[in-house]
Amino acid sequence: MTNRTRVLLHGSCHCGNLKFTLDWQSDPVVIVARACGCSFCRKHGGVWTADPAGKLQVLVRDASALRNYRFGTRTADFHLCTGCGIVPVVTSRIDDRLYAVVNVNALDDLDPALLSHAVANFDGEGLDSRLARRRRHWIGHVEWSS
């Protein structure tokens, strides 16, 4: 029998309009913080993580203060809080299933020792490859409530 560590990660936008809890299931717990090289993420400071075995719960207090931004392939929604300007979560609907990544910078009380920093660059990635990568590496169990 293995002794698996369970980690609940909590995060939010700055004003608290969008809050999330990520039940990190993978063991060992190493949170890969991927600094995306796309122009949007560079300008926004987006550093993303996901646990494909994890479970994400998102709660939006005021849906009217949330905007979705799409660019490039238009296959991902960057959920922007208009109250504070933070993008804590990105989702992608693939074959009627919602996948997500969370912004490491939006996590509350994160132990920095759990982070493993990496750089990601998806320039030139084809649409089919991109969606397949998301199916493999993004959080595949997402509950969204407003």
Q: What's the pLDDT tens digit per position in 66-111?
A: 999 999 899 999 999 999 999 999 999 999 999 999 999 999 988 8
Cis peptide before 88 (omega within 30 of 0): no
pLDDT in tens, 18-74: 999 999 998 878 899 999 888 888 898 899 999 999 999 999 999 999 999 999 899
Q: Where are the beta strands (DSSP E) in 1-146?
A: 7-12, 18-24, 31-36, 47-49, 55-60, 66-69, 77-81, 89-94, 97-103, 115-120, 141-145
The CATH class of 7-145 is mainly beta
Residue keyed to tokens 């933070």:
86
pTM (2 d.p.): 0.92
Ordered by start, the domain boundaries in the chain are 7-145
Residue 1 pLDDT: 45
- 31-36 and 47-49: which strand pairing? antiparallel
The mean pLDDT of 15-20, rounded to a whole number, is 98
Residue 3 pLDDT: 56
